Amino acid sequence: MTIASTCSTNSTPAVSNGGVSITQPAGNKSTWAARNPGWPVMPPRQPLSAAEKEHRRAEAASRQISAAQRKDRDALLNEAVRSLADELEAKVQVIATTHNITHEKVKKLLGGHKYYRNPRSTQLANAIVHDKAHEVNEGRTRGEKLSLQQIRDLARVDPKYQEMTQDEKDELLRALTEYRALKNTSVRATNSAAARNAQSTLEHVFKILDGLALRTGIYVCLFATRGHVYDSSQPFWYGTDNVMDFWEDVLDVEPDELVRKLEQWACMQGKNIEERNSVEGMQRLCARMLNSGLRSYSLLHKKIRINFINFEVAIKEKYGIDLLGWPEDVPFQSPRAIINAEHLRTLRDALKAGTCRWAHMSRQQHLEYQERLKERRGAGEVVGKPRKKRNDVGRKRRRTAGGKGLKSATIIESSSEESSSTCGEDDL
């Protein structure tokens, strides 16, 4: 899959020291950055000057010489390590024979197995380098900024980084975390930069999904398209193995036709970030995520829908499923009833991050919960909201088939006792 990048831009973002700027692009709609004024903008790279190109060529030649020298040193080191390994193997065999134990036990006692944990959190060393880079490169133009190795050397001998308090360390870590978050959410300044970013990121995603399909046997399909007629990214689709046969065999539509319709729909929308995060859009997204998650936990009831009014009875008591991590500052009600944009954004982020999630109650938890509800009912408390009584309670009425006429002449007695385990569209 390829993504074309042909459109140019008329907006020029302001360049900041940190690599991300918050600017007001020119008054046009030709780029994603121009359609999102006020959002952080990732400035494009400027072309190298003749002096910078010459400097790059000299650095490349120097790296080639260093690589050749390093290759020779590595060969000598590998030979020495191999010789040591052979000697160690012989001595291990002698010890195993002398003491009448297995070869593997000797290796285990030597500590041959080491386990390393790869930390994923922000590291203090990176935070120090980030802080030092901001200090020494401030005001320098491109080509004059210090390299990463030079910055590391300066940070290593800087006294202020030698004996820092815990508060100072936390402040450096916080600054780097904020910078990374800002960089990750900054919009691209030009259409070509956005197209290249989309292509490189998705190619990385494709490699991950291909490996995942081989390891687990899952099917994955993905459709992507530009979001505006001015954007230069081309629509494309991706699928593992023969998953795209699903669209033709079941829905009778080819992937190319589907992705073109997706492109038409997206370009007709033409929404920017704020418009995509409207109250109505977040309401629909939260309701969709909640119902989809509930159905995945209730495999025998595919048509189940969350009932906020009678949640304790209709969901927890009946199915033994609970909703954990609901944001404290967000009222527990249907997303379609929440009109506060900040509350909706908090709920949406919690659902996406997985902090707000569905979970099965254990059998013991379910029984204890049912006992608590029984005690509350025994104390005279009304659990949940009773359904409204029919206005024809007590009268005899005929059963009909879908309201189209009489199904039989059977007379049934009307009752006010109706199940509260389901809900209609009004609950969402």
pLDDT at 36: 85
Nearest to 198, CA basis, from 364, 352, 4, 62 = 4
Give the count of beta carbons closer than 10 Å to the beta carbon of residue 191: 24
In this prediction, residue 111 carries a pLDDT of 64
pLDDT for position 404: 52
**In the structure, how many helices (H) and strands (E) does the chain have?**
14, 9
The three-point CA angle 205-207-213 to 5° equals: 100
- Quote the CA–CA distance of 235 and 181 in Å, as a whole number: 28
The pLDDT of residue 141: 82
As a whole number of angstroms, the distance between CA 88 and CA 92 comes to 6
DSSP codes, 25-74: --S--SSTTTTSTTSEEEPPPPPPPHHHHHHHHHHHHHHHHHHHHHHHHH
Degrees to nearest 5, angle at CA 410 with 405 and 411: 100
Q: Quick one: pLDDT at residue 426?
A: 41
Per-residue model confidence (pLDDT) at position 242:
92
Q: Residue 185 and residue 10: Cα distance in Å, rounded?
A: 22
Q: Name the phi and psi angles at 383, rounded to 5.
A: -90, 120
Query: Which residues, 6 or more positions from 420, have their beta carbon under 8 angstroms from its beta carbon?
Result: 307, 310, 313, 314, 384, 385, 386, 387
Chunked mean pLDDT (size 10), the chain, 428 residues:
38 46 59 84 81 86 91 90 88 88 80 50 89 89 86 91 91 92 87 91 93 91 93 91 93 94 92 89 93 83 82 89 93 93 93 92 92 89 77 72 51 43 43
For residues 283 and 428, what is the distance between their CA atoms, to the nearest angstrom?
9
Contacts by residues 26-33 (CB-CB < 8 Å, ≥ 24 positions apart): 29/228, 29/230, 30/191, 30/230, 31/7, 31/188, 31/189, 31/190, 31/191, 31/194, 31/230, 32/187, 32/188, 32/191, 32/194, 32/227, 32/228, 32/231, 32/272, 33/9, 33/187, 33/188, 33/189, 33/190
What are the backbone angles phi and psi of residue 166, rounded to the nearest 5°? -65, -35
Q: List residues bridging with 21 in a β-sheet.
A: 41
pLDDT at position 114 = 44
The Cα–Cα gap between 407 and 401 comes to 5
Cα 250 to Cα 233: distance, rounded to the nearest angstrom: 29
At 352 the pLDDT is 92
**CA separation for the pair 203, 216 (Å, rounded):** 20
pLDDT at 400: 63
pLDDT reported for residue 171: 93
Q: What is the pLDDT of residue 261?
A: 94
